[in-house]
Amino acid sequence: MCSSDLWGNLNASILNHPHYPHVLVDKLLNIPAYQLQYEDYLRELINPSNAYFSYDAFLAIYQTQQALYDSYTLPSMMPLSFGLRNIESYMDSKVASIQVQLDYYHNHPEDRGF
């Protein structure tokens, strides 16, 4: 299975099971207009000019949550400290992956599944 096949089929990529059904989503995305609208939403989400999926927006929300809850995590049963763990490169790689997939389906519409 090529990497573009794995991108479009996360079940095969992550779960190693190629045909795990997503009953509602599979039905909706098999309607061409909905699939194309979904792709438009993804394009809008990753468009850097609107900052919907930006590191700076994430960091502002993260810091607010950290200020609110950090002192409560230490005495918890399973203390998990706040830490960014290389989130900026993670977000960048996700945006790049989405763009690659959108480009693939734009150039190979026959592979969309409807």
Q: Which of 34, 46, 60 is nearest to 93 (CA)?
A: 46
Q: What gap in Å lies between CA 43 and CA 34, rounded to an integer?
A: 14
The per-residue pLDDT for 81 is: 65
Distances (CA, A) of 108 to 66, 78, 103: 43, 47, 8
> Is there a contact between 41 and 33 (Cβ–Cβ < 8 Å)?
no
pTM of the model: 0.68
Q: What gap in Å lies between CA 101 and CA 34, rounded to an integer?
A: 17
The per-residue pLDDT for 1 is: 46
Q: pLDDT of 68-103, one tens digit each?
A: 988 877 666 666 666 788 889 999 999 999 999 999
Within a 10 A sphere around the Cβ of 19, how many other Cβ atoms? Answer: 7
